[in-house]
Structure 1
Amino acid sequence: LFSVVNVLGVRWLAESNRWITAWKIAIPVLTVIVFLVVFHHFDNLSSHGFAPNGVAPIFTALSTGVVFAYLGFEQAVEFGAESANPRRNIPLAVIGSVVLGVVVYLGLAIAFATSFEPSALAKGWSNLSFPGSFGPYAAIASAAGLGWLAFLLYVDAVVSPGGTGLLYVGSTARMSFGMARMRTVPDVFASLNERRVPVVSIVVAMVLGFAFLFPLPSWQTIIGIVTGATVLAYGMQPLTLGALRRQAPERDRPFRLQLGEIISPVAFVIANLIIYWSTWTVVWKLMLAVLVGYLILAIGSLVRPQATRPQLDWRAGYWLLPYLGGLTLVSYVGAQDFGGRGLFPFGWDALVVAVFSVAIYVLAIRLRLPDATAEKYMTELSAEAESEEEELGELGVVTA
């Protein structure tokens, strides 16, 4: 279904996403209001104290769920070039989506915590149980006689992830299209149908989605790997910003991040901490997927005719070897709280990751492309982006 909507074109995608987004906001807000009206057990908010099982599970939850819940800001950046005023709209969209998410999720957390009779918490939060296996909010609503709300929550359990899938199929196909234009994947990914839609990219995204889904044992594992992969990709952005500030300091930028020299290394450290906190079980699978991706890139480059091979500039990417290998090693020998062997105890492991990240950041910046080469690529990418927009047709800004 996601692929069909995307094949029908961006107008169908935008219209579908508009209604799904409204639903995704309305149902959680409605749930918060109803729960807070019906249940009033606010003493639960201090029951059993703060983090009775320690703080390590908080960081694991951050990597395997919380971060994924806030990834909606990504599309605001990806579609930022299509904004009439990116200098104003990108910060508003990114910050606004995160703030809105914080308000909604905080409301849901308070509504959930205050919905139990104090006696239900006698054995602690970790021993809560719900009838059936169809979600705690729906179970609580059903037990309270709110069958209509439980029904809406069951529907929402399909619609909300569906909205995410709908948009991710489109953005994945868009990335494949761009990669084909850059000659890092076969040219067939850049082919368009009569609606100016990259159908091959959409179909491949669908097939890869199925292939990714079936072998993984649980939803939590899927979320952990998706979050880790996304954060790994995000971790490249601070490095890119740091390099470009040195390679093209005077280049005109529709949006310029203030204090970028400070924010970049800090963001890189945080990204690596999130990957580390996702636990060794997720990290090794993630790194295996990255290795497969590099093998596909290398093979795809070798089978191309010499004249059409992409310029990969391997020297500028030498830092990736110690980065990916080192991050994998730190995860393997890290704190047992995150699935490691326990060489670094909890707390000290974060310091190790931070120092390692700063060292990799400095190395990556030192190995950056020469200024002239970077300027050449930026000029080519600008021309390519204009050509791509002409081929794909006029696109509306799609909100996440």
Structure 2
Amino acid sequence: MLHSLFRTKPVDQIVDEGGQGELKRSMSLLQLTMFSVGATLGTGIFVVLGEAVPLVGPAIVLSFVLAAVTALFSALSYAELAGTIPVSGSSYSYTYATMGELIAWVSGWCLLLEYAVSVSAVAVGWGQYLNDFFQQTFGFTLPAAISNPPGSGGYVNVPAVVVVLLAMLMLLQGASESATVNTIMVLLKIGVLVFFCVLAFTAFKTSNLTPFAPMGWAGIQAAGSKVFFSYIGFDAASTAGEEAKNPKRDLPLAIIGSLVIVTVVYVAVGLAAVGAMHWTEFKQGETEASLSLVLERATNMSWPSAVLSLGAVIAIASVVLSVMYGQTRILFAMSRDGLVPKIFQRVSANRRVPVANTLIVSAFIALLAAAVPLGHLADATSIGTLFAFGLVNIGVMVLRRTRPDLPRSFRTPVYPVTPMLGVLFCAGLIFTLDRVTQEIFLIWMAVGLVVYFLYSRRHSRLGRAAGGAAQPPNPKGTP
């Protein structure tokens, strides 16, 4: 039984199944890159400065760089595995090929938490920013009863349902069409942040940067841990392995390229913000207003804040679209392996998209966003993401050892130091999160193990192919 839990799925078999043409290869390098940027560049930058600047001062720019370097270790591992195993399952498929079925299930279960719950939390925030935009532009807001979830002064969060349904309708049109719309939204929200930088730099004062690091290295580290979670999402391109036109070349470029783009934007916004407004004026209790306050101080006008709110509305819509896309493709890969019901694998003949999969995921996310106070459950998505990142770093080392002969379109530099550092940084960040979040994550994992042993293990196609007998892991990863 122990051997059967850790039986690996041969890399060649995974790649062959991914090349059967069930999904349509239509996504370009630009579209793949924008999917990762879209999933990463969300509301984080609009709120994170108010949380992080008081911890570090003007050295927030170094905190963003530190967080980017931390994310880079895992991004390099993702790039290697995405180029080697270009399928839709992301870290789920990578761990299936390297560490076995049980670990793959754990990774997939973590991704369900990361994608489904996090996008529900993001959708909840869409209504808040939409209200900000309505207030600043038209002078009215939606009633709290229909714009807030229960527990926050409302009955049902209608805007959250609306943004999920809009994303669902777009996804049903096809991967290429969704990618085109996402690319437009990403370029718009980058444009809004460039607009912020331009206005903020008109009020830039070098005196605001002194002292540069009032809290020292400890402050830079503390703020770095805070802003790291604004980088989560760079792995979104890896879920498009079966819809990329040239996956072996484009997936590694999209993953690394998206991280570079997001880092440049974050550093520019951070520098513009602390240069235009002294760091002591950033208040942790006013996180959502931090960038708006900078613009008001810089221009003495209110209309730029309305533009910024519009940027936040676009940013959230883009995140919802990108993350929902990733969720459906991961479930598609898990269904192909028999670990979740077959309905998630069914693809429409015309548009080559998993229609039932998309409808079920959208309904689940809309229900969560509309009626469930997410609270600490949303925070637990950070642990789920970091856990999956750690498994990918380990997967690179395992696959280098078991299948050194595999053609790799990208190789992680400074191996094995890079993936080792990726594992250490992920573990370190997990232990910096609060205890309640850690406990919720453990409960989530316990539920996942129950589901695996009651359903997934019994329906595993790899298990049925082995005749139900316990099979030892194949060290060479061949059929």
TM-score in terms of structure 1 length: 0.67
- Of 199, 207, 218, which residue of structure 2 is paired with 1:55? 218
Measured in 2, the distance between the counterparts of 1:192 and 1:248 equals: 32
Amino acid of the structure 1 residue aligned with 2:187: A
- Taking only the aligned residue pairs, the percentage that are identical comes to 22
Deviation for aligned residue 1:13: 0.4
Alignment of 1:241-256 (within 5 A): 241-256=396-411
Larger displacement relative to structure 2 (155-164 or 196-205): 196-205
Q: Does 1:216 align with 2:374?
A: yes
1:172 to 310, 327, 332: 327
Give the match for residue 369 of structure 1: 473
Asked if the contact 1:241–1:260 (Cα under 8 Å) also holds between the matched residues in 2, the reply is: no
- The 3-state SS of whatever aligns with 1:255 is coil
Give the 3 Å change call, closer, same or farther, for CA 72–306 of structure 1 in structure 2.
closer
Q: Structure 1 residues 303, 82: CA separation in 2 closer, same or farther (over 3 Å shift)?
A: closer
Q: Which residue of 2 aligns with 1:2?
A: 167
The answer to whether the 8 A contact 1:80-1:86 is kept is yes
Corresponding residue of 1:41? 205
Instruction: Give distance in 2, aligned partners of 1:71 and 1:286.
Output: 17
Report if the CA contact (8 A) 2:339-2:456 is conserved.
yes
Structure 1 residues 49 and 69: CA distance shift in structure 2, 3 A: closer
C-alpha separation between the residues in 1 aligned to 2:241 and 2:220? 35
Structure 2 match to 1:234: 389
- 1:112-157 residue CA offsets vs partner (Å, 9 max, x unmatched): 21223x5xx6xx4565776xx8522123334543333211111111
TM-score, reference length from structure 2: 0.57
Q: Which amino acid aligns with 2:231?
A: Y
- Which secondary structure does the structure 1 equivalent of 2:229 belong to? helix
**CA offset digits 1:235-266 (Å, max 9, x no partner):** 11122111111211112223333443332222
Equivalent residues in 2 for 1:89-104, closer than 5 Å: 89-104=250-265
Q: Which amino acid aligns with 1:375?
A: T
- Cα pair 1:169 1:205 within 8 Å, conserved: yes
The counterpart of 1:106, out of the listed 261, 264, 267, is 267
Partners of 1:315 and 1:274 in 2: how far apart? Answer: 36
How many Å apart are 1:291 and its aligned residue?
A: 2.1
Residue number among 298, 301, 306 corresponding to 1:146 in the alignment: 301
Q: Tell me which amino acid in the other structure corresponds to 1:26.
A: G
- C-alpha displacement at 1:174, in angstroms? 0.6
Corresponding residue to 1:14 among 179, 189, 196:
179
Verify the 8 A CA contact 2:236 2:323 in the aligned structure 1. Answer: no
Kindly indicate whether residue 300 of structure 2 is the aligned counterpart of residue 197 of structure 1.
no
Q: Take 2:467 and 2:303, find their aligned partners in 1: how far apart are those partners?
A: 56
CA distance in 2, matches of 1:251, 1:307: 22
| Cα distance in 1 for residues equivalent to 2:265 and 2:302 | 22
What displacement does 1:88 show? 5.1
Residue 136 in structure 1 maps to residue 285 in structure 2? no
Deviation >6 Å, runs of 4+: 305-308, 310-316
Gaps of 5+ in 2: 1-165
Match of 2:26 in 1: none
Greater mean alpha carbon deviation, residues 164-173 or residues 144-153: 144-153
Rounded to whole Å, the distance in 2 between the matches of 1:73 and 1:148 is 32
Q: CA RMSD in A?
A: 3.4
* Partners of 1:184 and 1:310 within 8 A in 2: no
Partner deviation per Cα, 1:197-238 (whole Å, 9 max, x = no partner): 2122223322443465533237xx73x433321121111112
Per-residue deviation at 1:17? 0.6
For the pair 1:294 / 2:449, whether they are aligned, the reply is yes
Contact 1:86-1:255 within 8 A present in 2 as well: no
Pair member with larger Rg: 1
**What is the CA–CA distance in structure 2 between the aligned matches of 1:161 and 1:102, rounded to whole Å?**
18
Query: How far apart, CA to CA, are the structure 2 residues paired with 1:137 and 1:314?
Result: 59
Give the paired residue count: 310
| 1:200 partner letter | A
Residues 84/256 of structure 1: CA separation in 2 closer, same or farther (3 Å cut):
farther
User: Quick one: higher RCO (CA 8 Å, sep 6+), 1 or 2?
Assistant: 2
The CA deviation string for residues 131-187 of structure 1, in whole angstroms up to 9 with x for no partner, is: xx8522123334543333211111111110210110110111011011000001011
Counterpart-to-counterpart distance in 2, 1:371 and 1:20: 45
Quickly say closer, same or farther: Cα 1:243–1:234, change in 2 above 3 A. Answer: same
Flag the 1:126–1:142 CA change in 2: closer, same or farther, 3 A: closer
Verify: 1:188 aligned to 2:354, yes or no: no
Tell me how far 1:190 sits from its aligned partner.
1.0
CA distance in 1, matches of 2:395, 2:186: 31
Q: Which amino acid aligns with 2:230?
A: A
Amino acid at match of 1:136: S
- Determine whether 1:28 maps to 2:182: no
